[in-house]
C-alpha cells in the first residue's frame, strides 16, 4: 500500500519503533509532508528529520515536517489541508 502525499502521524503513546519503518515507506512513496500530533510530537518530528537525512550517503530527500503539540488530529489535518503548491495532495492520518 502506498502512502498519500501528506501524512498526519498521530502518536498518542509517543515514539514507537514503527516510526522508523514508516519514514522509509514515506520516502519510497514520495510523501512530501508529515505533520506529527500526539505525545512528545516535537521529539518525534526531530527523529523523522534525522531519519530522512540519514548518514549523508544517500541521495537527499525533501520532506517538510511539523509538530503540533497541544493540538488535535483535526487541527493537524487542517494545517495539512492549508499546504498548497508542491505540497498539494491527499492527506492520510496514520496512527502509531
Domain boundaries in the chain? Answer: 6-95
Query: pLDDT value at position 44?
Result: 98
- pTM equals 0.94
What are the DSSP E strand ranges found in the chain? Answer: 6-11, 33-38, 64-67, 91-95
Query: pLDDT value at position 57?
Result: 83
Reported as a pLDDT band with limits 50, 70 and 90, residue 90 is very high
Mean pLDDT along residues 59-65: 92
Cell 503539540 belongs to which residue? 69
Mean pLDDT along residues 44-71: 93
Amino acid at each position: 500500500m502506498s502512502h498519500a502525499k501528506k501524512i498526519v502521524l498521530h502518536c498518542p503513546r509517543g515514539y514507537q519503533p514503527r516510526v522508523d519503518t514508516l519514514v522509509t515507506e514515506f520516502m519510497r512513496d514520495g510523501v512530501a509532508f508529515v505533520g506529527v500530533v500526539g505525545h512528545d510530537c516535537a521529539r518525534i518530528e526531530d527523529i523523522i528529520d534525522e531519519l530522512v537525512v540519514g548518514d549523508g550517503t544517500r541521495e537527499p530527500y525533501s520532506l517538510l515536517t511539523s509538530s503540533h503539540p497541544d493540538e488535535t488530529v483535526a487541527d493537524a489535518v487542517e494545517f495539512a489541508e492549508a499546504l498548497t503548491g508542491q505540497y498539494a495532495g491527499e492527506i492520510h492520518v496514520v496512527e502509531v
